[in-house]
Structure 1
Amino acid sequence: MDARESSHSRRDDIHAVDAVNHPQPSRADTPPAELVVDTDSTIHQPDAASFVSAPVPNEPVGQPSQDVAGLVQTEPARDHEATLEEVKNMISVESPEAELTGVVQLEPDVAQTAVPVRRRVFLRVHRPHIRAPRVRGRLHTFDSFRYRDYIFIWLATMFSSGGFWLQQVIVGWLTYEVTDSAFWTSVALGLDALPILFVGPVGGLLVDNFDRRKLMAFIYGYQAVVTLIFATVVLTGNLQAWHIFAFIFCMGLAWVVTDPARMSLISNIVPREGLVNAFALNSMAFSVTRLATPAVGGVLIAVAGAGPALLVEAALQIGAVCAALALRVVTIPKPRMNLASVRDGLLEGIRYVLNTPILLGLFALNAMPAMLIMPSVNGLMPVYAAEVFEVDARGLGLLVSAFGAGSTLGTFALASLGDIKAKGIALICGIIVTAVTTLIFSVNAFFPTAYLNLMIISAAMMMYFSVTSAVVQGTVPDEFRGRVTGLYMITWGLFPVGSLLAGWLAENLGVQHATQITSGIMLLLLAFAAWRFRSLWRMR
């Protein structure tokens, strides 16, 4: 038997003797921070530096040898706190106690001296202070995807917005090709928002009184049919300018219902504390398609023509119909609508908004980019492509896709943050960045840096719209959501008004001067709104 096994056997017998002659307290009464080390051994052999004890007794446990029994009887065990030097003299580097005490090697001069130790030593081992692991705040990017219905409404948004951005490229190119006018091109790209200006609240009232899921599916189907009719006109070679404007207006009627329905459904599916993430992800679906679809649309127009590109748009809208029908949102039965109920419902929604100052401030802020920034940038992008950057349809597609790249990055960052506490500050900072970057874009004629400018404009704008939508939907009770959202969408109806202004300025002063003037006006209005609605700074 080697020295280590001998040492361990002898210690086992000593533990047994101590258990008989000196009963120990129960485990619950024993101090947890003390490790008992019985060291009745002689230290020698400097090269091995291990414990070597006397011959192991053959008596069974409980019947110790006379040597061991005498050892315990002649000198009773006494408690003693060992010094560091004593510990180093008593513990082997190969013993389990060495791992606890940190003894690495015995000093040779100490190991050569055989020192019998006949006392039981309580070695106090101090436990380290263990702190709970610090877990960094996790990303909240895809939190809303935990809800099944949200996944399908996100897919419906992605299909629908893919069709919309493809339509923007097609309509902008066809209008400028047919009319050769910056004014009419700007008007055409903003005309789909005109119905919202007049019948937006009616769409919200429909959302409050009908099954929102079926209403969305029906409207997406309507858009697919209208697109197929317009594609037939283009493919047969009978396209005229009025066909383009009629198509855009009919498509704009659909947005009167789909936007309030989608925003209200998101609020029904996701809890209030998750609305910022939900609307950021919804905007991300809008942004991802904005990134990829315009470039694909430009290639489609250049290779196959506008007609086949419109067929692809119709297919995307059919995909949105399927995603909307897959929703399982529980609907609440509403009373039948009549003329009196329509009037009373609209007036009730208007009174609610007028009595809620924070909504008035949000509506005022939302009207600025819709009327001034988007018409002079998005609406005039075909003119910028042809006159400033001198690129073809592929270049136009890249410029429009810059908006998608920026908004994708912005909404991804916003979704990862989760719920934002200082929402008011985030809103105002986002809109300031939008206006300043638009002003910088207007004096830039270099394509790569213009692409970067458009990315920043889009990122700031989409973050602003996402937070605003979350605040509006989180503030309004469910019975008012459709009507309030319809009134909120009226601010988007100002886009055609801004398109008229931007188109007139571009026609008479040039496209870059038009953007400079509108962004300057927006900065002045923003300063006034920030002073007038000071409560927005404290909004959370």
Structure 2
Amino acid sequence: MASLSHRNYRLFFFGQLVSQGGTWMQTVAQSFLVLGLTHSGTQLGLTTAARFLPVLLFGQAGGLFADRADKRRVLYVTQASAGLLAAAFAVLTGTHEMRLWTVYVLALALGFVNVFDNPARQSFISELVPPDDLPNAVTLNSVSMNIARVFGAALGGVVAAAFGLVLCFGLNAVSFGAVLASLAVMRAADLFPARRITREPGQIRQGLRYVRGTPELLIPLVMIAVIGALAWEFPVSLPLMASKVFGGGAAAYGVMASVMGVGAVAGGLVAAGRGRPRATALCLSAIGWGIAILLAAEAPTMPLELAALVFVGYGSITFNSMAKTVLQLAAKPTMRGRVMALWGLAWLGSTPIGGSIIGWIGQDAGARWSLVVGGLAALLSGLLAFPALTRIDRRRAAEDRIS
């Protein structure tokens, strides 16, 4: 765990751990708030999609802003804004003034915050550690998010069932204080700042051309877009499985998300010990993850479902951490913000399309089909991309031998 030896990264890691735990509590609360208001899987998918629509539309602008700006200052603003929006959820829910249209408005507002927060937060990791420790830092950041899922989703389910949704939103609002505190006490002298680019016309198009001409970036991003749209829709598919297949509620969803998070933490710790991943390893992780999702879709009982979700979690962190590591290492430092914005566009911005599709499928065809579609997407993406990424690995190996 070499990256944790750096003080600034340790602060960021534990601040994100607390904040992401709060975010998962809010995810649980929002899912069951919408189901309580509408009893509709389609509406659940649409409200989840609303949160990521701004990323789909404006994600590249946020990435360019991250390449131009002081990322630490950007995070001060975005994290404080997200905390205020969580407080608004708490107040409106607590005063019984929350309506479906209000959920949409707040979800969209959080989406606009994420336009700037995601690329800045992802690319800021490279400024906290030296280049040799970057793969470990990226993977550990994914681990922290999944540790947060274990405790955040479990606590969210318990709190929602025992004390109501208001406390989930309120605790999330408070959790952003951990990130703000970690940013405030970092040592500026220990940062590894990337060179900020100067403002010029056409820089978004420049980033798109760069990715289009770099297969090491383009192929993983296409995979991420397909898988992010159809497989990574668990805030939609798991509540439907919990309520419509297994007859549970918020507590059952919390247990399911937590068990998936346990598998993700295990996968992340294994991935953190690896060196630079090969491109083909991304395909293998997608194939394995797809098989695990299909097993979860077919599980006949809750115990078997939970057993399958351990492997779903393992596959999710393995694929996600490898994808982010491959992109960050392949991208030039001056392009990293725009490349990670495209990651956000592919992984999160695809949710307005995928979340709506998965919600509709789960509502009309059955909750199990919301997982089947995602599992097939991951499996086929890995199989189809394997030949091209194999050629990239061979070329990279040849270049390393020459150098």
| Same fold per superposition (TM over 0.5) | yes
Deviation, 1:273, is 2.9
Contact in 1 for aligned 2:156/2:168 (Cα 8 Å): yes
Deviation, 1:525, is 3.8
Q: 1:182-219: CA deviations, max 9, x gaps?
A: 11112223432221111111111111111111111111
Q: Residue 483 and residue 445 in structure 1: after superposition, are their counterparts in 2 closer, same or farther (change >3 A)?
A: same
Structure 2 partner of 1:392: 249
Contact in 2 for aligned 1:361/1:536 (Cα 8 Å): no
The correspondence for 1:240, drawn from 83, 95, 99, is 99
Q: Which amino acid aligns with 1:345?
A: Q
Q: 1:245-299: CA deviations, max 9, x gaps?
A: 2122211222222221122221123233322211111111101110011111112
Structure 2 partner of 1:219: 78
Contact in 2 for aligned 1:502/1:514 (Cα 8 Å): yes
Structure 1 partner of 2:220: 362
Structure 1 partner of 2:211: 353
Matched pairs, number: 392
Q: Which amino acid aligns with 1:166?
A: M
Q: 1:109-158: CA deviations, max 9, x gaps?
A: xxxxxxxxxxxxxxxxxxxxxxxxxxxxxxxxx21111111112212321
Q: 1:465-511: CA deviations, max 9, x gaps?
A: 11221221122222111111112221021122111211222222111
Q: Residue 526 and residue 412 in structure 1: after superposition, are their counterparts in 2 closer, same or farther (change >3 A)?
A: closer
Structure 2 partner of 1:504: 360
Q: Residue 373 and residue 509 in structure 1: after superposition, are their counterparts in 2 closer, same or farther (change >3 A)?
A: same
Deviation, 1:529, is 2.4
Q: Residue 457 and residue 333 in structure 1: after superposition, are their counterparts in 2 closer, same or farther (change >3 A)?
A: closer
Structure 2 partner of 1:430: 285
Residue 468 (structure 1) aligned with residue 323 (structure 2): yes
Unaligned runs of 5+ in 2: 398-403
Deviation, 1:519, is 2.5
Could you tell me how far apart the structure 2 residues matched to 1:160 and 1:195 are? 21
Q: Residue 322 and residue 363 in structure 1: after superposition, are their counterparts in 2 closer, same or farther (change >3 A)?
A: same
CA RMSD of aligned residues (A): 2.0
Structure 2 partner of 1:287: 146
Residue 482 (structure 1) aligned with residue 337 (structure 2): yes
Structure 1 partner of 2:161: 302
SS at match of 1:379: helix
Q: Which amino acid aligns with 1:451?
A: L
Q: Which amino acid aligns with 2:303?
A: P
The correspondence for 1:379, drawn from 222, 226, 236, is 236
Q: 1:337-366: CA deviations, max 9, x gaps?
A: 5xxx3x422122112111211101110121
Q: 1:22-63: CA deviations, max 9, x gaps?
A: xxxxxxxxxxxxxxxxxxxxxxxxxxxxxxxxxxxxxxxxxx
Q: Which amino acid aligns with 1:394?
A: A
The correspondence for 2:300, drawn from 424, 445, 465, is 445
Deviation, 1:443, is 1.1
Residue 494 (structure 1) aligned with residue 350 (structure 2): yes
Contact in 2 for aligned 1:263/1:473 (Cα 8 Å): no
Q: Residue 252 and residue 172 in structure 1: after superposition, are their counterparts in 2 closer, same or farther (change >3 A)?
A: same
Q: Residue 502 and residue 537 in structure 1: after superposition, are their counterparts in 2 closer, same or farther (change >3 A)?
A: farther
Could you tell me how far apart the structure 1 residues matched to 2:267 and 2:197 are? 41
Q: Determine which structure has the larger helix proportion and give its number.
A: 2
Q: Residue 290 and residue 183 in structure 1: after superposition, are their counterparts in 2 closer, same or farther (change >3 A)?
A: same
Q: Residue 525 and residue 277 in structure 1: after superposition, are their counterparts in 2 closer, same or farther (change >3 A)?
A: closer
Q: Which amino acid aligns with 1:402?
A: V
Q: Which has the higher contact order (CA 8 A, sep 6+)?
A: 2
Structure 2 partner of 1:414: 271
TM-score (norm 1): 0.69
Could you tell me how far apart the structure 2 residues matched to 1:530 and 1:444 are? 29
Q: 1:394-419: CA deviations, max 9, x gaps?
A: 1111011122111111111111x241
Worse-superposed segment, 517-526 or 201-210? 517-526
Q: Percent same amino acid among aligned pairs?
A: 24
Could you tell me how far apart the structure 2 residues matched to 1:332 and 1:382 are? 41
Q: Could you say which structure has the larger radius of gyration?
A: 1
Deviation, 1:312, is 0.5
Deviation, 1:325, is 2.2
Q: Which amino acid aligns with 2:227?
A: P
Q: Residue 392 and residue 199 in structure 1: after superposition, are their counterparts in 2 closer, same or farther (change >3 A)?
A: same
Q: Which amino acid aligns with 2:152?
A: T
Residue 175 (structure 1) aligned with residue 34 (structure 2): yes
Q: Residue 480 and residue 336 in structure 1: after superposition, are their counterparts in 2 closer, same or farther (change >3 A)?
A: closer
The correspondence for 2:370, drawn from 493, 514, 536, is 514
